Amino acid sequence: MNGLVFLSDISKVYRSRRREVTAVDRVTLGLDPGQIVCLVGESGSGKSTIGRIVTGLTDPTAGDLRYGGVSARSMSRRELKASRLAVQLIHQDPYASLNPGMTVGATLAAPLKRHEGLSGTELSRRIRTLLEDVGLTPSGLFEPKLPHELSGGQRQRVVIARSLTVDPKVLVADEALSMLDVSIRVSVLQMLRGLCDDRELAVLFITHDLAVARQFGDGHTVAVMQQGRIVEHRDTATLVANPEHDYTRDLLRAARHEGLRSRHSPHPQSVPATNAPAMPPGR
Ligand SMILES: Nc1ncnc2c1ncn2[C@@H]1O[C@H](COP(=O)(O)OP(=O)(O)OP(=O)(O)O)[C@@H](O)[C@H]1O
Ligand SMILES: [Mg+2]
């Protein structure tokens, strides 16, 4: 199946005058509606490159990328644009991906006007519903706020709401929650997972942390990347309980170590933004 997106034997080689880096090496991976694949692996293993290929930000050097069973190579520009709009990327840094001068309401209104042609009461209703869907309630409180008036968790909720404005079929979340404090991360993780389940969204969830993958990918699968290759891809519970690959065992050890560390001391990036409210709703 893997009807929404399918990567068949995809490779990506970055070439410069001095060296050649094989970021992705013959990877085959697919997503169906409602399916979650967590992509884990150490830094530089090629996770983001795969995410960029899926979202169309990077072209593969070799292999076949299919949307809805049709090869991207055989699509017209217009078809490709529509296919790519159905795949939305959620970045790691919500602050960087939001316009600092745009209110939450305006941030959501722009794509709703552009892509859906909404205006007036219908536009206001959609904005309200989206904010409620991502747990930013009461929505009227958040609509006039600027990004710097929000906490990190709230900002990431706005980014998620914005990605939903175009009614995507696939989400690519690249370390989307790794900048958040551990306690906030859990609530945003649960919200995102609930949204994906409700809307039957397919998700490529990229993380270096197997503990996070274990939680988000519960009931789905985890693919482990090492040096551009997928070395193990199995259902989440089996992979965690019984890893086949030495590298997966190392990642599990690292995840356990990290789990212990975060229980004893705050995450270095857990300090809230200076001008964020002390205990805001919808963290
Ligand atoms: N634009 C680029 N030009 C040259 N090399 C690149 C480029 N982008 C990525 N690479 C290289 O490709 C390899 C894979 O990078 P990638 O960013 O996909 O890894 P990653 O698994 O996402 O790492 P991290 O966990 O640090 O985000 C790395 O060796 C990286 O240096
Ligand atoms: Mg990356």
pLDDT(262) > 70:
no
Averaged pLDDT, 67-81: 95
Q: What is the pLDDT of residue 84?
A: 93
Q: Which residues contact 119 (CB under 8 A, 6 or more apart)?
A: 113
User: Residues of the chain with pLDDT > 90: what percent?
Assistant: 78
Ligand 1, atom 6: closest residue by C-alpha:
14
Q: Which residues contact 227 (CB under 8 A, 6 or more apart)?
A: 22, 25, 45, 46
Write down the mean pLDDT value for the chain: 89
Q: Are 203 and 34 in contact (CB under 8 A)?
A: no
Condensed to tens digits (0 to 9), the pLDDT of residues 94-124 reads 778 899 999 999 999 999 999 999 999 999 9
Structure tokens belonging to residue 6 = 């399918």
Task: Give ligand 1 pocket residues (Cβ under 6 A).
Answer: 14, 21, 23, 41, 43-49, 208
Nearest to 252 by CA among 229, 281, 232: 232
Condensed to tens digits (0 to 9), the pLDDT of residues 163-186 reads 999 999 999 999 988 888 888 899
Condensed to tens digits (0 to 9), the pLDDT of residues 193-243 reads 999 999 999 999 999 999 899 999 999 999 999 999 999 999 999 999 999
Ligand 1, atom 28: closest residue by C-alpha:
44
pLDDT(274) > 60:
no
Nearest to 8 by CA among 58, 72, 57: 72
Please tell me whether residue 232 adopts helix, strand or coil conformation: strand
Instruction: Calculate how far, in angstroms, residue 174's C-alpha sits from the geometric centre of ligand 2.
Output: 7
Q: Are 247 and 224 in contact (CB under 8 A)?
A: yes
Whole-angstrom Cα distance, residue 5 to residue 136?
30
Q: Are 142 and 106 in contact (CB under 8 A)?
A: no
User: Residues of the chain with pLDDT > 70: what percent?
Assistant: 90
